[in-house]
């Protein structure tokens, strides 16, 4: 599976749960985030970047905004269990 397809699928998964997960909890703290949650949150953030076609811009957007997507990442990872 190509990287762009993974990013797209992760973004779609994040969109499915993000509105309820973000509304239900306050902004996450970086200290209690696991590595898996951080990586998945970065992937979801990259999928939501304004210009997904530019990998560099998507990566910079993910670096800056991944804490906003931690709750969505947790919801998706918890749903897998």
Mean pLDDT in the chain? Answer: 74
pLDDT digits (tens, 9 = 90+) for 34-63: 888 888 898 888 888 887 678 888 888 888
User: Could you tell me the sign of the dihedral formed by the alpha carbons of 48, 35, 20, 29, in that order?
Assistant: negative
Give residue 75's pLDDT.
Answer: 86
State the average pLDDT over residues 10-26: 53
Nearest Cα neighbor of 72 from 32, 45, 34 is: 45
What's the average model confidence in pLDDT over 17-45? Answer: 69
pLDDT reading at 20 higher than 80? no
């Amino acid at each position: 599976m190509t990287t762009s397809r993974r990013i797209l699928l992760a973004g779609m998964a994040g969109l499915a749960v993000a509105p309820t997960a973000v509304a239900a909890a306050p902004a996450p703290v970086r200290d209690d985030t696991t590595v898996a949650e951080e990586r998945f949150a970065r992937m979801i953030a990259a999928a939501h970047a304004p210009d997904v076609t530019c990998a560099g811009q998507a990566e910079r957007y993910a670096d800056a905004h991944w804490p906003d997507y931690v709750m969505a990442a947790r919801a998706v990872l918890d749903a897998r269990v």
